[in-house]
Amino acid sequence: MQEFQELIKNFSRVRDYMRQFFIYGFKSRADFGEKSSRTYDNERRRIESWLSPWVASGYTARGKQVSITVDSMQVPENPLYAAWKSKGFTDNDLALHFLLPDLLTSHPQGLAVSQLCDFLAAEYGALFDSQTVRLKCREYETAGMFLSSREGKRVTYRLAQPLEAETTPLWKRMTAALSFFQGAAPFGFIGSTLLDRENASNRLFQFKHQFIVHTLEDGILAQLLDAIQSRSQITCEYKSSRTGRGASLSGIPLKIFVSTQTGRRYLCYYQPDFRRLNTARLDGIVSVTVTGPAPAFEQAMAALHRNESRCWGVSFGKQTGRQETVAIRIAIDEATEGHILHRLEREGRGGEVSKIRDGEYLYYATFFDTNEMLSWIKSFTGRILDIQGTNETDIQKLIRDWERMYRMYGPHTP
Amino acid sequence: MELFDKLYNCYYTAARHILEAAASRPVGRQEMEHLCRSYGFQETFLSLIPKLTGGPVPLLKKEKDGFRSVLASPPPKLPLTSLQKAWLRALLEDSRFALFFDDDEIALLRQSLSGVEPLYREEDFRYFDRFADGDPYEDPGYRSRFHTILTALEEGQVLLISYEGKGGRIRHFEIFPCQIQFSSKNDKLRLLGLARFRGFFSRKSILNISRVRDCRLSSERPAVSPGRFRFRPVKRAKEPVLLSIGGERNSLERCMLHFANYEKHTEYDEEQGRWLCSIYYDTADETELLIDILSFGPVVEVLGPEPFLAQVRERVCRQHQLLWGNLEPTPPSQSGPG
């Protein structure tokens, strides 16, 4: 049996397990039916090792349950960044990572591969074949850390220079900025690697409403942003989290829609075959393949710009493209409940708010999909005097929900 | 540019710290294990230490009192990778970046990163449910006040603050800053600190930075350790909210995702065929949690604790009366803001 390793070669392998442990936190080995027991045990042990302070486990009738439980306000950095810092390496990788910069620091003018090999042997007694050293130098050049110069057939490598700003007093302030953006910007784990480089950690900033699990989609996000930037057409392999069924979706990627209230991210893309804008959850996208250039990119982007203000969330409505109107009468005591009025204005996404009479306000809006608004409307439960809308089915669904809630919580409940 | 790259591996970080320590003095196994646990994972020491001390190319050599680095000097700070530069370049276009630097410094950073393509662009994202009244990060006054607050936080100094409270009334505080809180949903920064109360910096306070009208540094540096107030709830509720989730309308996954930023515990009740989810929360966030739970409607049921359940009942009954009863349209008065 192969020895257990904390490090991994393939990110997607652990992505699913981490997500399941984090989001659900109540699944046992039996619930991971797709994989073998040994796979489950290895992945569980790895995640326990990476995230030991945040992993809880317990036994139920269904077996051992493992969960990752984190209050985002109580951690300086997203613990799931551990996944990005877990790529496996060889003994040679580790040795050359330290030996080559050590040599190049004392030879700032640069060294050729043959010289590097000679110095490695002479200074450290380390015998490397020139091909291994050459590949490592090229790898670090590609990563931006080494620079090369060519004189005839001779190529020399040297360390890249620090940024000009790194040598000035402002760089001290960068630690505070990195502390903030590692938690507040897309691809925050890169900020975490920069803090590692500065031997620093965040102690200044606390993050509320931070949904840490979504860092696991950053690899997919990077590929989608590349495709948007290069105006390419893509095909994605997609697995529905609800049904578990796989599907393939194709189109022109245009933008990433982000919910700050759940952390969910969506790809907004245009389907030329159906002449339609659509969205897909990033956490459902398994892989991305660029299939070619997208000549219709600009037209598709223009279509998005025309339509996005009519999206409450991520739905472009039904095929007809018809917009739906909602009008809600809400009871608000202006003297003591200005904050409710303020909620309508700041959360209403452009809907009109007007006063009908003292203590009564109207919220009026037009969007593609009333169904997407229902959760928000229900957050005003206890204040709604009347609701009307052009999508009668959705309005009736809301009314039935309030009836059901009354049966759940009303005075006649046991 | 590879995101998942061994260059960012925490084993390398742990090894760097060990080599730094072993550059000037022998380092024992216990210290190496400690550094592995601090910068790596729980079991990192098991495989990293043998690689550093043995293996085909040992980076540490054994001496009488421990291990010393074979390197000529402590490991240098490595140049930034293209990925790190591209991320920093993207931050330059973020309106919040200017909070940390003045205009000249931003110009220098821009010059340092000229020719670097940003990893992403702000226009690639649409934050569709972010609140519309976010902080004015680019306002010069806001930038200046943030800078003063950040300086006080970094230097452990007291702040003298004029703050616009409810109704526009200006109040004055002496605050010892502990942390700055950011909410992506609210798009706001808040100062968490200890206000002077009866002569001592003891009263936990949260101030919206956008409502700070004036702030100055005091020369006072009280002997308070902010560390014990950092990454802590202001006031944790005594009991968690207990939810029962049936799974209708994908409510289980929606609930788990929606409340993923809270500490929570979920288990399946075989008898009821429902999931029971306990959510631990800060009392300052109770109303927010209440309206978030109400937004799920009948697919999530609150089972307790009783005071929380009473608030749910009150709002639901009130809603029923407003739609089907004969009450005057006056809003609820006892359930707090929300």
Task: Give me the mean pLDDT over the B325-337 stretch.
Answer: 47
Distance of CA B67 to the CA centre of its chain: 39
| Boundaries of every domain in chain B | 6-69, 82-124, 140-229, 241-324
- Fold observed for domain A324-409: Alpha-Beta Plaits (3.30.70)
**Is the predicted pLDDT of residue B67 greater than 50, yes or no?**
yes
For all residues of chain B together, what is the average pLDDT? 92
Instruction: Round the average pLDDT of chain A to a whole number and report it.
Output: 92
Note the pLDDT tens digit of each residue in A228-262: 999 999 999 999 877 778 999 999 999 999 999 99
Using 50, 70 and 90 to split pLDDT, how confident is the model at A16?
confident
Number of Cβ within a 10 Å radius of residue A339? 13
CATH code: domain A214-310 is 2.30.30.100
Q: CB-based contacts of B229: which residues, under 8 Å, 6+ apart? A: B178, B179, B192, B194, B204
Amino acid making up residue B56: P
Query: What does the pLDDT look like over B146-157, one tens digit per residue?
Result: 999 999 999 999
pLDDT confidence of residue B332? 44
Residue A379: what residue type? S
Task: Tell me the CA distances in angstroms from B240 to A211, B74, B191, B304, one per residue in order.
Answer: 20, 50, 26, 8
- Which pLDDT score, from 0 to 100, does residue A162 have? 95
* CATH code given to domain A91-159: 1.10.10.10
pLDDT higher for A271 or A63?
A271
Average pLDDT over residues B265-293: 91
**B6, B151, B256: best mutation site toward chain A, by most A Cβ within 10 Å?**
B6
Q: What is the pairing mode between strands B125-127 and A146-151? A: unpaired
CATH architecture of the domain with range B241-324: 2-Layer Sandwich (3.30)
Average pLDDT value for residue range A2-13: 81
* Chain B residue at shortest CA distance from A86: B9
Chain A positions in Cβ-Cβ contact with residue B77 (cut-off 8 Å)? 162, 197
Residue among B237, B238, B165 nearest B195 (CA): B165
Which of the 8 DSSP states describes residue B58?
-
- Do residues B193 and B205 make contact, with C-beta atoms less than 8 angstroms apart? yes
Higher pLDDT, A160 or A35: A160
Q: What is the pLDDT of residues A312-364, one digit of tens each?
A: 999 998 766 689 999 999 999 999 999 999 999 999 999 999 999 999 999 99
In chain B, residues with a C-beta closer than 8 Å to the C-beta of A381 are 294, 315-316, 319
Q: How far apart are CA A39 and CA A45, in angstroms?
A: 10
pLDDT at A368 over 90: yes
Q: Is the pLDDT of residue B64 over 70?
A: yes
A404, A407, A402: which is closest to A379 by C-alpha?
A: A402
Per-residue confidence (pLDDT) for residue A27, from 0 to 100: 66
Tens of pLDDT, residues A387-409: 999 999 999 999 999 999 999 99
- The Cα A281–Cα A283 span in angstroms is 5
Nearest beta carbon to residue A93 from set B6, B41, B301: B6
Is the Cβ–Cβ distance between A149 and A177 less than 8 Å?
no
Q: pLDDT tens across A74-128, in order?
A: 899 999 999 999 999 999 999 999 999 999 999 999 999 999 999 999 999 999 9
B292/A211 Cβ within 8 A = no
**Domain B140-229 indexed as CATH 1.10.150:** no
Instruction: Name the minimum distance, in Å, from the CA of A5 to any CA of chain B.
Output: 9
Tell me the residue type at B13.
Answer: T
Rg of chain A over all Cα atoms, to the nearest angstrom? 27
| Contacts B288 to A, Cβ<8 Å | none
Distances (CA, A) of A77 to A81, A96, A135, A228, A338: 8, 29, 34, 29, 36
> b/e string for B264-291 if b means 16 or more Cβ within 10 A?
bbbbbeeeeebbbbbbbbbeebbebbbb
Task: Say which residue, A289 or B55, is predicted with more confidence.
Answer: A289
Task: Show residues of chain B in contact with A60, CB under 8 Å.
Answer: 267-268
Is A214-310 the same fold as A91-159?
Answer: no
pLDDT number for residue A382: 96
pTM score above 0.80: yes
ipTM: 0.94
Q: How far is B117 from chain A (nearest CA, A)?
A: 11
